Amino acid sequence: MKKILIVDDHADIRRLIRMTLEFEDYEIQETADGQAALVAARDWQPDLVLMDVMMPGPVDGLEACRQLKQGQAGKVPPVILLTARGTKRDRDAGLEAGADAYLVKPFGPLQLIESIASIWQKAA
């Protein structure tokens, strides 16, 4: 069973993502900020991270992505950034941070599922 870590400071967004993924065979864990995401990634070793960019605290989504991709939290999982920021500059910053994909909110459930499937195919 693949493990997915959902990271977003809004509980309703985490719930919507969880509901989208419930029909697949995934084990899901959630955190509300970048610092907690780094701890969860180190301890739980997810196969994929779905992470918001703008979160409160000292570690936003971009910084958490950078640290995950540097292996500072153990295993290096693929990261899909989920954000309301959709300019080319924002996308470039996400990809420079190491994101494997970048989805702009609001995105549809099918778009999320297709992005995850694409990540699994690339990893195979």
Condensed to tens digits (0 to 9), the pLDDT of residues 82-118 reads 999 888 999 999 999 999 999 999 999 999 999 999 9
Work out how many domains the chain is built from and give that number.
1
Give the CATH number for residue 27.
3.40.50.2300
At residue 73, does pLDDT exceed 60? Answer: no
pLDDT exceeding 70 applies to what percent of the chain? 98
Question: Which pLDDT belongs to residue 21?
Answer: 95
At residue 74, does pLDDT exceed 80? Answer: no
Q: How far apart are CA 26 and CA 99, in angstroms?
A: 21
SS (H, E, C) the chain: CEEEEEECCCHHHHHHHHHHHCCCCEEEEEECCHHHHHHHHHHHCCCEEEEECCCCCCCCHHHHHHHHHCCCCCCCCCEEEEECCCCHHHHHHHHHCCCCEEEECCCCHHHHHHHHHHHHHHHC
Which structural domain range is residue 17 located in? 2-123
